[in-house]
A = this chain, B = another copy of it.
């Protein structure tokens, strides 16, 4: 047996059957919310980084492994948001039915038949999202000649399977909990202005917010600490700088931030 195929067959037996993880890795750059997508070089197919779960691996650890393998980051904010288990979740056979997916399916079938059969199952996939600092990410190239790109979420390309749906569900999840998630500490520099924070919120909500109302509500949350120094510039015009108060945030989350 071909050594490569043997290796794949061996490794196949090592995976949990029928479950997988997919990761929505979000970053913020030039006032735009972006998601890390992979593309097969010989195709125009874009996809989320994802993978299967080792038989002796926690679901969450599988998500961490995928992130580490793809982004090179070890310590990242990672949170489960939803499990996708529609019976018609398209498997490889379904992908082959689409014009763009044909090449990928044929390639896999002829080069990795066992892998093809294994992937051609119904996977129930659990979505995790990560909030990362794009400047610290060193994306790693994996098999099947992937390239990767940070793509603005309001300008997504065509994605395979239900990956677009997974991204939209993730954004819905984050929007619902915007005040409960430490988005600023993961996506903004350590020190930021209220305007920076507002731009970040706007990128998630995809709408303009009213400045004074936003600032009042944000400051009322009590998790942003105003620093003594101001932004460099003309002293009388320079906006205040803030930092995220993680201790205060954790305390509030415990007590039920914003619930009552």
Which positions in A face B, CB cutoff 8 Å? Answer: 16-19, 53, 55-62, 80, 82-87, 122, 124, 126, 175-180, 201, 205, 209, 213-214, 217, 256, 258-260
Task: Provide the residues of chain B in CB contact with A177, threshold 8 Å.
Answer: 176-177
Task: Provide the residues of chain B in CB contact with A87, threshold 8 Å.
Answer: 55-58, 61
Candidate in A56, A83, A258 with the most chain B CB atoms within 10 angstroms: A83
Q: How far is the CB of A146 from chain B (nearest CB, A)?
A: 25
Candidate in A17, A57, A175, A180 with the most chain B CB atoms within 10 angstroms: A17
Q: How far is the CB of A222 from chain B (nearest CB, A)?
A: 15
Contact present for A59 and B259 (CB under 8 Å): no
In whole angstroms, how far apart are the Cα atoms of A126 and B126 in the complex? 9
7 contacting pairs across A/B (C-beta < 8 A): A59-B86, A61-B87, A124-B126, A201-B260, A205-B256, A209-B260, A213-B260
